[in-house]
Amino acid sequence: MKLINPFFKKKKNVLISEVFKILGKKYNKKDYIIENIADLKTAKAKDITFFNSLKYLEFLKKTKSKNIITSKKYENITRKYSNPIIVENVLKSVAVITNLYYPNALDDAVDFSLNPPDKKKYPKVKFGKNVLLGKNVKIGSNSIIGHNSVIESNVIIGKNSVIGNNVIIKYSLIGKNVRILDASILGKKGFGFFPDKKNNFRYPHIGMVVIYDNVEIGCSNTIDRGSLSNTTIGQNTYIDNQVHIAHNVNIGKNCIITAQVGFAGSA
């Protein structure tokens, strides 16, 4: 499965001086473009990333990024591998910069492009009643979509998959031979925000949910999409009913997860 994110389009390239300005800092050196924001593992040389915990030290050592947002605590460690940009609150700074690149990432409450499926477009897919599809949805042959289910724009579902009744799928790539049982929700934004006395500051989530082949997801599961990276469920994993999988969680192959389990973000 190709992990190309079709859901969030970057608004523009951003100058390093713009990054410093939005962080409340001055920049007096030669200006240049920062192409994107990404995590340590996937960041490229012209991207900006962040480091806020020693548990990510191995990723720091290998990152290609030349600019890393970090705290004073980790300045000396970060300087060994890249250029540190020192801030008081690393995660809040990352959220502000992410919003600069992807200003529409939080506007995901309703997909107003939804319509009943054009059955001529999906001749080998069986649809229940009251199904709604967004734009550019791809569904593999011999799949079944249950009653009252909603599949939002750009979602991809592999062949021989079964989507139950009252399921909502957004911002997700789904492999073949996958079963998603009744009333599950995939791809909503994660529970990521910064508390404030007046208004809580919500964190943009520009990752996806990626479900690999031969996975079964039980009834009333909720799987949040990733923030900068993806939430992933490995091949041949089976998940029981009423399980919550938070943003950036990575579950491997051949796992068995029983009912009423919750995984905290980035587990």
Residue 247 annotated to the active site: yes
- Strand pairing class (138-139; 156-157): parallel
String of DSSP letters for 29-83? S---EE-EE--TTT--TTEEEE---GGGHHHHHH---SEEEE-GGGHHHHHTTSE
3-class DSSP assignment, residue 5: coil
CB 161 within 8 A of CB 149: no
Q: How many helices (H) and strands (E) does the chain have?
A: 4, 28
By CB atoms closer than 10 A (0-12, 13-18, 19+), residue 225 is buried
The residue from 147, 205, 244, 247 that is catalytic is: 247
Residue identified by tokens 């790539």 is 173
CB 154 within 8 A of CB 6: yes
- Strand pairing class (244-245; 162-163): unpaired
Which of 113, 243, 249 minimizes the C-alpha distance to 170?
113
Residues with catalytic annotation?
Answer: 247
